Structure 1
């Protein structure tokens, strides 16, 4: 179930492993599976078209004997009979079922104006199409939420010549996903491009005129004009169907290291899966996890037994800045900021109880590659050498 990155990676890997069992993909969207990261960047800027985002053309699915059903949803899972009911009323029997249902953007409640015209989220190509039509120079956009999605949208809007205000309820932007040092670097990048960033600032309500948003009243009582609003306040895992089927859920579908749910015949992969990692339960919202986990579970389905051990990495493009992240900085207690060799390049190294756990590299590919290799090898570099910008990072791998 699902037609995104994880679903495609699973079926592609199954066929690459010569597993030719019958496969049916049930996808709610009207499009064949496509890349999502460019939606809030190049696709929104109209630098890429949808056909260029497709993982494979339609003929590929027929050639690989994959039945893909678009604009279709599973409405019920009956684990006793091993059948799913589809939105057209038909039923499908299964031997193995995989949830790749992803996540849904959180929206503003209608009681504070979330249902006004001009209020947008960005999750699929149709969302991006609606927003692209509004990206007109000189217009005023309010971005609610200072996470990666909100900041990427802010960067695109500013590139298009819009006046941009970002509000974030937390003490700082990127608070949930990055260190204070990284937040400071990214904040300065946006402010240098003319974005008005207001932290520790909530939204009281949106104000409408003839059914369309025209302004926003903020938590401090101030009112700012807004021709459109982009909501980037996180996502909720699509786990309701799994919950209704009696599977274990907790803002996501709980799985073991082989992707199995509490039912051995049912798996979950990608953004909807809550997986074990270093003694914790986490949900990784990233392309890397969707692909790596799906391919690992495909190998299990094809007869393998190797558990999935996540090696997290992420990226974000904002203006001409590339932020690359290796590892997972959750629970860090110390950071070290290292200037890069080129102007504007810098990296932030995360430690927990003295151990390297993550690296944020801003326009610094060498720091990202080195950090990723150190993390994969389980090596924590000498702190004094790391702090010295004159020391070649490659020497830390010796």
Structure 2
């Protein structure tokens, strides 16, 4: 490729860092510019609700690379600046400092932002969201001091992981979920129920069907969460974890096709052939599922970033990676692989001892494995589970549940 070409990567997170890494690995020797509104180097998000928040990892461990790596690979970082507009007619990206960057190819890795709580008092001091590194800094300081009372609103992954961190720091924790199960969308009620019991076993007051009416405060600081039934829960700190939304504003204003994310094909190309998208913001025509899915997990940002770099460098790409996720809560370590729509499975088959927190779970649709997870089964993790999903033949549920039957024996061939 001609050295005068400029590739601009918008969003200074994991996906952009991996795309930049991939571009150099593919031999692209032109200008690579990473634009991000945060001042920190590109970082990974799992430590924000896991190791760093728990005080078990140093802050610097979250960074994908140090500054020296970007210098060595001639990756320009323009941090602390917001991408204001894409001018497709002139192939320029307008920045908040008034400058413009000409691009030959552009990557949108703008990620997502937390859904805001829209009840009275949601803007009080002491109400926390967790998406950025400085927010993890603030929350970490809050839960480490004075054994505060913490109310977590939302029973998704961030809600459960922050509840775990707060409990491990000795906080009194109540977790509120409006639905009838935690993790209902990603896992369904069966395994959602397992994680609710994990939290309860460690002293978290998990309340289902709990709808928040307001957050009350005193002197501008949150002091309690009030439910629709009138229940008042004292709170020194409130953590709001009610989901995220793809950050599509830049793409929408540029006239790109957007629907629950920026629409991209299997090569991660948008409706404009010079513009690509990956990570949380990308609604991808997935080559394995042959339908559009948008994945919000760390592994997807990492692997789609790499794939986007290859595609931008001119390689043939058909993104077909099976989604993967992991969580650590207290002494429970879990890895999940697969994907299904709400109601997209017939039953859950478990293998091992659920009560002792050492087991596998398989989500089946018509005796075909569509998703699987293991809990504390590190010697027999997601590798075989992924292969069971990728094969198209049916699996005998009885053999799947039988610990005497090796999982490898259920694979085709």
TM-score range (shorter-chain normalised) is: over 0.9
The answer on whether the counterparts of 1:43 and 1:49 sit within 8 Å (CA) in structure 2 is yes
Comparing 322-331 with 228-237, greater Cα deviation is found at 322-331
Deviations 1:27-73 (A, max 9, x none): 11111111210111211122222222222111111211111111011
Q: Match for 2:389 among 357, 368, 375?
A: 375
SS at match of 1:356: strand
Deviations 1:241-271 (A, max 9, x none): 1100101112311111111111111111100
Comparing 265-274 with 278-287, greater Cα deviation is found at 278-287
Measured in 1, the distance between the counterparts of 2:265 and 2:187 equals 27
Measured in 2, the distance between the counterparts of 1:18 and 1:259 equals 19
Cα deviation for residue 175 of structure 1 reads 0.7
Query: What corresponds to 1:361 in structure 2?
Result: 374
1:307 aligns with 2:318: yes
Query: What corresponds to 1:329 in structure 2?
Result: 340
Measured in 1, the distance between the counterparts of 2:208 and 2:67 equals 45
Q: Match for 1:146 among 143, 151, 155?
A: 155
SS at match of 2:361: strand
SS at match of 2:185: coil
Cα deviation for residue 347 of structure 1 reads 1.8
Q: Match for 1:250 among 248, 254, 259?
A: 259
Query: What corresponds to 1:268 in structure 2?
Result: 277
Deviations 1:93-123 (A, max 9, x none): 11101100000011223x5111100000111
Measured in 1, the distance between the counterparts of 2:317 and 2:226 equals 53
Query: What corresponds to 1:127 in structure 2?
Result: 135
SS at match of 1:332: coil
The answer on whether the counterparts of 1:13 and 1:295 sit within 8 Å (CA) in structure 2 is yes
Measured in 1, the distance between the counterparts of 2:283 and 2:140 equals 33
Comparing 363-372 with 237-246, greater Cα deviation is found at 363-372
TM-score by length of 2: 0.93
SS at match of 2:372: strand
Measured in 2, the distance between the counterparts of 1:217 and 1:282 equals 36
The answer on whether the counterparts of 2:18 and 2:306 sit within 8 Å (CA) in structure 1 is yes
Question: How many residues are paired up?
Answer: 397
Deviations 1:299-357 (A, max 9, x none): 22222123111311111111111111011133112211221599420222111233111
Return closer, same or farther for 1:224/1:22 CA change in 2, 3 Å cut-off: same
1:316 aligns with 2:324: no
The answer on whether the counterparts of 1:350 and 1:359 sit within 8 Å (CA) in structure 2 is yes
The answer on whether the counterparts of 1:24 and 1:67 sit within 8 Å (CA) in structure 2 is yes
After the TM superposition, which residues 164-313 of structure 1 pair with which residues of structure 2 at under 5 Å, given as runs? Answer: 164-277=173-286, 278-313=289-324
1:33 aligns with 2:42: yes
Q: In angstroms, what is the RMSD of aligned CA positions?
A: 1.6
Measured in 1, the distance between the counterparts of 2:403 and 2:57 equals 38
Q: Structure 2: which 5+ runs fail to align?
A: 1-9
Deviations 1:198-242 (A, max 9, x none): 111110000001100001111211111111000000001110111
TM-score by length of 1: 0.96
Q: Match for 2:97 among 85, 88, 93?
A: 88
The answer on whether the counterparts of 1:137 and 1:160 sit within 8 Å (CA) in structure 2 is no
1:393 aligns with 2:407: yes
SS at match of 2:265: coil
Comparing 158-167 with 48-57, greater Cα deviation is found at 48-57
SS at match of 1:177: helix
Measured in 1, the distance between the counterparts of 2:393 and 2:28 equals 37
